[in-house]
């Protein structure tokens, strides 16, 4: 079974959604290790609750290559074949991405390519779009620009403030991320240019 690594920096609600799906047998992958660059990340509690090994690799005082090298060693020690970024607040270098080509996923709170980068929900709300959503994509060397695996649309209501929209968007992330992992882990995915095609529908 595909062994999943999950990188976090903070709250870890997407991590929790992935671990819950794995526990229900819906992920087609087993959680092998959770890595945080922040020792106090609240999300580490979810790893503990699900009995998944957790490792903190602090980045303070380390050059990026040194930190990424340490993270890669942990992933390799745990036999990770698929890596999920779940609120991981550091950009990965091209050298890191090339070590796991097409095997690093990220979830983003907008319908990419709209509103990449930080504060995506606020960007969408401020822009006044009527539909936004959640995107899971393959990580490449661009910021939030890699091939899109799955998206879920989220309506923007006239009564929404940023907080209401953020909550609705996060709930969509929690649904779409496990589905995307299951799809990738199943091996039923073909990459054609930057188009990700599933060989059979994924529900």
Catalytic residues: 108
Give the residue among 36, 39, 5 at the shortest CA–CA distance from 19: 5
- 28/133 with CB nearer ligand GRF: 133
8: DSSP letter: E
CA-CA distances (angstroms) from residue 163 to 67, 99, 156?
A: 33, 37, 12
* Cα-based torsion angle of the residue sequence 26, 138, 168, 3 in order, rounded to the nearest 10 degrees: 30
Minimal CB distance to ligand GRF: which residue?
Answer: 87
Q: Of 108, 168, 179, 182, which one interacts with ligand GRF (CB under 6 A)?
A: 108
User: Which tokens belong to 25?
Assistant: 């047998």
**Among residues 2, 14, 36, 54, the one that binds ligand GRF under rule CB under 6 A:** 14
Contacts of 40 (CB under 8 A, 6+ apart): none
Binding mask of the shown chain, residues 117 to 156, with x at each position contacting ligand GRF by CB under 6 A? ----------------------------------------
Instruction: By CB under 6 A, tell whether 12 contacts ligand GRF.
Output: yes
Pick the stretch among 12-20, 50-58, 154-162, 179-187 that binds ligand GRF (CB under 6 A).
12-20
**In terms of CB distance, is 162 or 188 closer to ligand GRF?**
162
Residues in 151-180 that interact with ligand GRF by CB under 6 A? 170, 173
Nearer to ligand GRF, 74 or 121 (CB): 121
Token readout for 12 is: 């870890």
């Amino acid at each position: 079974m595909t062994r999943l690594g999950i990188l976090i920096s903070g709250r870890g609600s997407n991590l929790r959604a992935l671990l819950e799906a794995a526990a229900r047998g819906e992920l087609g992958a087993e959680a092998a290790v959770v890595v945080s660059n922040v020792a106090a990340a609240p999300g580490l509690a979810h790893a503990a609750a699900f009995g998944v090994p957790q490792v903190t690799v602090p980045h303070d005082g380390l050059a990026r290559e040194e930190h990424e090298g340490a993270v890669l060693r942990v992933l390799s020690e745990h036999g990770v074949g698929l890596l999920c970024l779940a609120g991981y607040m550091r950009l990965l270098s091209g050298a890191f991405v090339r070590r796991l080509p097409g095997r690093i996923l990220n979830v983003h709170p907008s319908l990419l390519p709209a509103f990449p980068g930080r504060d995506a929900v606020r960007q969408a709300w401020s822009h006044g779009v009527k539909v936004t959503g959640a995107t899971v994509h393959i990580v490449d060397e661009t910021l939030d620009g890699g091939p899109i695996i799955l998206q879920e649309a989220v309506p923007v209501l006239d009564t929404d403030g940023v907080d209401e929209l953020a909550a609705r968007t996060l709930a969509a992330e929690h649904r779409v991320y496990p589905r995307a992992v299951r799809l990738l882990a199943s091996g039923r995915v073909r990459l054609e240019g930057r188009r990700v095609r599933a060989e059979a529908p994924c529900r």
